[in-house]
């Protein structure tokens, strides 16, 4: 256990489905992140939340919608995804926003869009 | 955007051989972090380097930050099968911009 828990571990969804990814951290961190990891590509930062406020959105398509109801929970709502959205989605947290500290990653959700 | 080049992309070594991966930037970095991701796993934070010329060791792993703070390396002495995985650098630029390198995938042949 890393202190950052992601569910589900695996998800297969059709292009017309709506699903949500969940992330929960038990570390008392104030910043949380969503990353996308595709084969042969660097980790791509999608969203940053600091103290429950979205502070960064890296030109992510609107079919991905984040939600941070409190500093311990982060969701990624998915709808009308495309096959190229298939990837490993990683949640991470850090004590504060930025890179003064290492990030703690969850185990990820392996998403397959069919 | 900022670019972080990491080489090599892949490395196969015999068990017991050494391994090095390099991370290079054209711009001076504030600091640099290193992560390891086992096959099927998630990135795990290894270390952060902040000072120019800094060298840190963790058992068989040696991390270096260049004098100009534009490059960094991770060296593993006498690799073991447990070292298998992808090693990522994460470069931090001025203004807290944070970018992961493409990673070096290490295979250790028993």
pLDDT digit string, tens, across residues A36-88: 999 878 899 999 998 878 777 778 999 999 999 999 999 999 999 999 999 99
List the single residue in B with minimal CA-CA distance to A89. B42
Whether chain B has a CB inside 8 Å of the CB on A98: the answer is yes
Give the number of residues written for chain B: 110
| Residues in chain B whose Cβ is within 8 Å of chain A | 4, 30-31, 33, 35, 41-48, 88, 90, 92, 96, 98-103
Task: Return the pLDDT at B2.
Answer: 63
B30 and B94 in contact (C-beta within 8 Å)? Answer: yes
For residue A21, give every residue at least 6 positions away whose Cβ sits within 8 Å of its Cβ, in sequence order, or none.
Answer: A6, A7, A8, A11, A75, A76, A78, A89, A91, A109, A111
Flag whether pLDDT at A97 surpasses 90.
no
Using the beta-carbon criterion (under 8 Å), do B96 and A97 form an inter-chain contact? yes
Give the span between the Cα atoms of A35 and A42, in whole angstroms: 10
Flag whether pLDDT at B93 surpasses 70.
yes
Task: Return the pLDDT at B23.
Answer: 97
Instruction: Please name which of B12, B4, B78 lies closest in space to residue B35, comparing C-alpha atoms.
Output: B4
Q: What is the mean pLDDT of chain A?
A: 92
pLDDT digit string, tens, across residues B9-25: 999 999 999 999 999 99
Using the beta-carbon criterion (under 8 Å), do B43 and A103 form an inter-chain contact? yes
């Amino acid at each position: 256990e890393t202190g950052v828990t992601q569910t589900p571990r695996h998800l297969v969804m059709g292009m017309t489905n709506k699903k949500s990814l969940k992330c929960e951290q038990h570390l008392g961190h104030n910043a949380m992140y969503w990353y996308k990891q595709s084969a042969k590509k660097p980790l791509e930062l999608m969203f940053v939340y600091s103290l429950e406020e979205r502070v960064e959105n890296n030109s992510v398509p609107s079919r991905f919608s984040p939600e941070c109801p409190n500093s311990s929970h982060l969701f990624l709502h998915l709808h009308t995804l495309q096959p190229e959205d298939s990837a490993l989605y990683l949640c991470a947290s850090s004590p504060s926003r930025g890179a003064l500290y290492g990030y703690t990653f969850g185990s990820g959700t392996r998403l397959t869009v069919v | 955007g900022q670019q972080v080049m990491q080489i090599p992309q892949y490395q196969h070594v015999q068990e017991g051989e050494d391994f090095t991966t390099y991370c290079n930037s054209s711009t001076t970095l504030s600091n640099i972090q290193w992560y390891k991701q086992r096959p099927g796993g998630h990135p795990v934070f290894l270390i952060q380097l902040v000072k120019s010329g800094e060298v840190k060791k963790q058992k068989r792993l040696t991390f270096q930050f260049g004098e100009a703070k534009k490059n960094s390396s991770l060296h593993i002495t006498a690799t073991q099968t447990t070292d298998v995985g992808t090693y990522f650098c994460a470069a931090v630029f001025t203004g807290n911009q944070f970018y992961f390198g493409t990673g070096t995938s290490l295979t250790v042949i028993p």
